[in-house]
Chain A
Amino acid sequence: MGFGDYPKEYNPAVHGPYDPARYYGKPDTPFGQVKISELGSWFARRNKTPSGIAGACSRAWWRWQHKYMQPKKVGMAPFFQLLVGSMTFFYVINYGKMKHHRNYKYH
């Protein structure tokens, strides 16, 4: 499995047209339904190889695209999401400098 290939689990004869937002392996419990006590084992089951992480990011990207960006009549929501996300991202990477602007000594 090299670059630009379909996932190993994807079988065009069974799955039909490839959906980049979809995980074609064996489905696990959705993250929103995992109990806190089972979180450890849930994370242990995840594929943490670089290709697995890249695949997860790709699927997340395409899920977001299909849900917010690609529909026929989108609103402002994806752009606000991008705005808030980039604001948060830049706030985090600049956090070391922001810390010097604190106004109070004791909290």
Chain B
Amino acid sequence: MLSRVALRSAAARQSASTALVARGSATDVAGVRDEKNFPRPVRGEPGKVRLGFIPEEWFQFFHSKTGVTGPYTFGVGLATYLCSMEIYVMEHEYYTGLSLLLMVYVATKKFGPSVAAWLDKEVDTIETEWNQGRQDTIDGLQQSIEEEKKAQWRAAGQELLIQAKKENVLLQLEAAYRERAMQAYNEVKRRLDYQLEKNNLERRLSQKHMVDWIVRSVTQAITPDQEKQTLDRCISDLSALAARN
């Protein structure tokens, strides 16, 4: 019942203007919710009673004025008064009532606890059944949250992986660059070596030819006169040397 009331009130609050016009009362809808003086009604524990049906408040009402035994004294006195003045008439149904009271008392004392336990169990079962759907939904949603978190964690791992792959690609690029740089270096060196070798060869060949040409020219330039003069000169030198020794 309370839940239905709460539902109706919530619906009224959602469409406050139209609902209130339709209801035609409580025209002043403005105001701040007063949680302190008007808290949400909650389902409480059952009220305490004494003697099976008399509310505890009745006894509390007497306590400050007459003490603890006051309410009982009042009850017994009132009953005595009603019976002695025969305002309460003990006709034949009174004794039927006494026997019925006795039976009710015995039945309550004998079967009350077991019936109460069974009913409490039934109440718990029904409540559990009614809450089951909501609990299932909550569990499912929480599991979805867990899985979503795990997926996010995996996505973060994926980012790490992609970063690693990017670094790997950069490394490959670096390696390719170095390889090509090395290749260019080698090619250039090879060409330069070729040029150097070619130069050396050319120089050597030209030197050799030059030397051959000079030697040949000099050999051809020597006339028989010169040869003879030289030979004479040598012989004279030799004889001079021989004379000196």
Contact = CB atoms under 8 A, between A and B. Distances in A.
A16 B9 contact: yes
Contact of A18 (B8, B39, B57, B92): B8
A76 B24 contact: no
Interface residues of A, number: 45
Interface in B1-57: 1-2, 5-6, 8-10, 12-13, 16, 23-26, 28-35, 38-41, 43-47, 49, 52-53, 57
A13 B29 contact: yes
B41 A17 contact: yes
A67 B34 contact: no
A25 to B, nearest CB: 13
Contacts of A58: none
Contacts of A10: 25-26
Q: Which secondary structure dominates where chain A touches chain B?
A: loop
B91 interface: yes
Contacts of B5: 17-20
Given A76-B52, A76-B112, A17 B91 contact: no
Interface residues of B, number: 51
B43 A70 contact: yes
A73 B53 contact: no
Given A67-B44, A103-B86, A80 B53 contact: yes
Contacts of A44: none
A16 B38 contact: yes
B78 interface: no
Contacts of B84: 107
B9 to A, nearest CB: 4
A15 interface: yes
Interface string A76-93: 111011011001000000
B90 to A, nearest CB: 7
B61 interface: yes
Given A13-B16, A18-B5, A7 B25 contact: yes
Interface in A1-54: 1-2, 5-8, 10-22, 32
B222 interface: no
A99 B86 CA distance: 9
A5 B8 CA distance: 13
A12 B1 contact: no
Contacts of A104: 86
Interface string B139-159: 000000000000000000000
Given A6-B23, A87-B97, A104-B86, 12 more contacts: A8-B26, A12-B16, A16-B9, A16-B39, A17-B41, A18-B8, A19-B41, A70-B43, A76-B52, A80-B52, A81-B49, A101-B91
Interface of B: 1-2, 5-6, 8-10, 12-13, 16, 23-26, 28-35, 38-41, 43-47, 49, 52-53, 57, 61, 84-86, 89-92, 97, 108, 112, 116, 119-120, 123, 127
